[in-house]
Homo-oligomer: A and B are copies of this chain.
Amino acid sequence: MSARLYEAVFAPESVALVGASDVPGKATARPLEYLRRHGWAGTVYPVNPARETVLGERAWASVKDLPSVPEHALILTPADAAVEAVRECAEVGVAVATVVADGFIAGSPAGEERRRALLEIVGDTSLRLLGPSSLGVANVRQHMALTGNAAFAEDRLPAGDIFVASQSGSALGALLSRGAEMGLGFAGMVSTGNELDITLGEICLAAVDDPAVASFALFLENLAGADDLAAFARAAAERGKPIVAYKLGRSDDGARLSVSHTGALAGDDAVAEAFLRAHGIARVTTFDALLEAQLLARRVPIRSAGPAPRVAVVSTTGGGGAMAVDCLAAAGVRVGAPDGPTIERLAAIGVAAGHGALIDLTLAGTKYETIKAALDIVLAAPEFDAVVAVPGSSARFTPEVSVAPIVECAGSSTPLAVFVVPSAPEALRLLRHNAVPAFRTPEACADTLAAVFARGLVRPAVPLPAVPLGETTTLDEDASYDVLDRVGLAGAARAVVEVDRLPDELPVPGPAVVKVLSAALPHKSDAGGVVLGVADGEQLQAAAKQVRAGVAAARPDVEVDRLLVQRMVRGVAEVLIGFRRDPDVGPVVVLAAGGVLAEIYRDRSVRLAPVTRAEAAEMIGEVRGLAVAAGFRGRPLGDLDALADAVVNMSMLALAQDPVVVEAEANPVLVLADGEGVVAVDAVVTVGGLV
């Protein structure tokens, strides 16, 4: 999106309101009311073929009749009329049209027809389209609310430096009023709706260079525009403007809803999580945190992998401090007691610390001097990556005692956040006014810290091979190993034999497993196609017979002509390593604990592919079941270094050209004893195009 187009969207000199109503209070009358009430300085053209005037202002019959071409047209008419209005806008050269109407969802014939019509106009002309099903845009600093959303009926729109982009319209209104209540304000707001043309990522990318914008709050329903979002995230990271996102679809029910809303398919939540984390986006799960996290996200640098960050909690209220520690720890944040030198410095000001995670100032007394001195000591302590201050009732009645010292620490190099235990809206606003991240609930505080620490360094764009169109081909097990071999992921020693010409000796060191070899039978065991513990040539004969009989019974359609004979191996742990291309976010790699229990517990780690070795090591740390290969209860160590290599190698399939791999799964992969590597003992690879 060019700077000129961004101006047309957020800072036009003139706008048309197509379908503006003359009935005060109607949703279609509100945009004109809002533009006037909030004092926007630009030119407004109400368009309404049925009226000479609208709310006392001159109205035009059509966009074609306007005295000048508006840069931005807000189309308020129902769906059918909206298509016509967009066409007229394109004809006269309007830069951007925002369509409010619903009714363009793929699925319904009429919706499909309208959708195609809009796409045609956008394809054939220079007009860009926001929506449909967009609630509009707002440039809060310029007093422009180009929307009919009831939420903008505020007396005064809260101006500030946060840019909000939402696929949902109604979330926009909720964030507006909640931000105002919090004492946080907005530079711009946009609802992108169905994203037929302009995506959320594209518009945010254009906003990155807006000097009025310091950080971003995204309300996401799906990741259909993941490429644009990634480009935006890279640009935002370069300019040091953090992004916080709330994304629907944590539950399966929520995911299904996102579908019905936008027509886009909501994907696996773990994939979404991997995408956001890999792009330095802090994903929060409490709604308050979407705004409350903004200030902290600006203070905490995105970190590369390393030891878990350590947080200090400093409290003047025992119970409140304990609540903060409990919530932080439950959210996976490491709350740590101070180290020796810090304990000594605290002792010198009368604060006894080090008995537990909480630095409790209660006994030393809620005095300005104590709080300030304790915060100075803890903020200077090298062992902490962030400090959470927890004032009690004094924050409500005597902020000069417990809030003032926190405000004075606002410029500390270690990030400082505050959970205010009582209801103290003034204290919260005072803190935020001074750029101190402040939280109304311990849950949003913990959620935010966990989310900003979980952000990964933003990945660079990776050139991916084009996936051939049309059919895909699933390879047999032997050919699948070949593909994996080429990226360095080894299978156990194997040989292919023909059933009619079996060798006299086992072709691999025994004992071996004998499996039917056929791309048509990925679930070999279920079809009687596997025999274990084959020790020699004689047993191989018997095994071949058994496989033939078993498959003939279970799957008479499958010809058994070749067998895979593979050395049986014992590992200290089993894992699954998978690769696939997500339709939204592209290639991903999955590491999961092996076995049926791990499947039940959904114990796995997902990352965008390819991954670095450090990322692979992080993934291993996230799969809880892999504790069995890390010395849990005195068990033998597994070769986790080799496992990390295997994960990296599998992820490299993202880049492989010949063939282009669409999907791959090595399951199980056996993790052998430390130093002995890992081997795949089953594999299925699907490649693009026919082979």
Q: What is the interface of chain A, defined by CB distance below 8 A to chain B?
A: 102, 149-151, 153, 166, 168-171, 173-174, 176-178, 180-181, 219, 221, 248-254, 256-261, 285-288, 317-323, 325-326, 328-330, 335, 355-358, 363, 392-394, 396-398, 421-425, 441-443, 593, 595-601, 603, 624-625, 627-628, 632-633, 635
Whether B421 and A174, one on each chain, are in contact in the complex, defined by CB atoms closer than 8 angstroms, is yes
**Set B178, B329, B633: member contacting A254, Cβ < 8 A:** B329
A220 to B25, alpha carbons, bound, how many Å? 50
B423–A177 CB distance below 8 A: yes
User: How far, in angstroms, from A355 to B219 measured CA to CA in the complex?
Assistant: 23
A367 CB to closest chain B CB (Å) equals 12
Q: In the complex, what residues of B have CB within 8 A of residue A601's CB?
A: 597, 601, 603, 624-625
Contacts of A598 in B (CB 8 A): 597
B170 touches A318 (CB 8 A): yes
A287 touches B326 (CB 8 A): no
| Beta-carbon contact of B178 and A423 below 8 Å | yes
A449 CB, nearest partner CB in chain B, Å: 14
| Given A178-B423, A248-B323, A260-B356, also A397-B253 (CB < 8 A) | no
CA distance A329 to B285 in the complex (A): 13
Of B169, B329, B421, B628, the residue contacting A319 (CB under 8 A) is B169
In the docked arrangement, what's the CA distance between A329 and B330, Å? 19
- For the complex formed, measure the closest distance between the CB of A617 and the CB atoms of chain B, giving whole angstroms: 19
Q: Which residue of B has the minimal Cβ distance to A421?
A: B174
List, in ascending order, chain B residues with CB within 8 A of A287's CB.
Answer: 323, 441-443
B443 touches A325 (CB 8 A): no
A425 vs B178: C-alpha distance when bound (angstroms): 10
Give every chain B residue within 8 A of A627 (Cβ-Cβ).
Answer: 600
Which of B259, B319, B595 sits near A597, CB closer than 8 Å?
B595
Task: Verify B170–A421 contact, CB threshold 8 A.
Answer: yes
Count this chain's copies in the assembly.
2
Instruction: Give the CA-CA distance A252 to B398 in the complex, in Å.
Output: 33
Using A170-B421, A259-B356 as known contacts, list a sample of 14 further A-B pairs with CB atoms less than 8 Å apart, ordered by residue number in A: A169-B319, A170-B318, A171-B323, A174-B317, A221-B322, A249-B326, A253-B328, A253-B357, A254-B326, A257-B322, A257-B357, A257-B358, A597-B597, A600-B627
Q: Which residues of B contact A424 (CB under 8 A)?
A: 177
Contact B322 A151 (CB under 8 A): no
State the CA gap A257–B335 with chains docked (Å). 12
Given the contacts A423-B181, A596-B632, A600-B632, A173 and B102 also touching, CB distance less than 8 Å: no
What is the CA–CA distance of A83 and B550 in the complex, to the nearest angstrom?
Answer: 85
Docked-complex contact A253 and B596, CB < 8 angstroms: no
Q: CB distance B597 to A258 under 8 Å?
A: no
Give Cα A425 to B599, complex, Å. Answer: 45
Q: Are A150 and B398 in contact (CB under 8 A)?
A: yes
- The interface residues of chain B lying within 8 Å CB-to-CB of A633 are 596, 599
Q: Are A180 and B597 in contact (CB under 8 A)?
A: no
Chain B, Cβ-Cβ closest to A253: B329
Contact of A170 among B173, B252, B317, B625 (CB under 8 A): B317
B171 adjacent to A319 (CB under 8 Å): yes
CB–CB A251/B330 < 8 A:
yes
Q: How far is the CA of A168 from the CA of B324 in the complex (A)?
A: 14
In the bound complex, residues from chain B placing their C-beta under 8 Å from that of A326 are: 248-251, 253-254, 257
Minimal beta-carbon separation of A401 from chain B (angstroms): 9
Closest to A624 in B: B600
Contacts of A178 in B (CB 8 A): 422-423
Q: Identify A441's interface contact among B176, B248, B441, CB under 8 A.
A: B441
- A65 CB to nearest chain B CB (Å): 31
Q: Nearest chain B CB to A248's CB is how many angstroms away?
A: 5
**Among the listed B174, B285, B632, which residue makes an inter-chain contact with A392, where contact means beta carbons less than 8 Å apart?**
B174
Provided the pairs A252-B329, A326-B251, A441-B286 are in contact, do residues A423 and B180 lie with their beta carbons within 8 angstroms? yes
Residues on B with C-beta less than 8 A from A392 are 150-151, 170, 173-174
> A628 to B357, Cβ gap below 8 A?
no
Residue of A171, A250, A624 most packed against chain B (CB within 10 A) = A171
Complex A-B: 18 CB contacts under 8 Å: A150-B394, A151-B396, A151-B397, A166-B319, A168-B318, A168-B322, A169-B319, A174-B421, A219-B319, A249-B326, A250-B329, A257-B321, A257-B357, A261-B319, A287-B443, A596-B628, A596-B633, A599-B633
Other-chain residue from B318, B600, B625 in contact with A628 (beta carbon distance below 8 A)? B600
B residues within 8 A CB of A252? 329
**A256's contact among B256, B356, B595, B632, by CB below 8 Å, is which?**
B356
A258 neighbours in B (Cβ, 8 Å): 322
Closest to A425 in B: B181
Bound state CA distance, A219 and B39, in angstroms? 49
Contacts of A595 in B (CB 8 A): 597
**Is there contact, CB below 8 Å, between A355 and B260?**
yes
Residues of B within 8 A of A394 (CB): 150
Question: Cβ of A356 and Cβ of B257 under 8 Å apart?
Answer: yes
State the CA gap A285–B550 with chains docked (Å).
Answer: 54
Instruction: Check A286 against B249 for contact (C-beta < 8 Å).
Output: no
8 Å CB contact of A251 from B166, B257, B329, B421? B329
Cα distance A553–B55 in the bound complex, in angstroms = 98
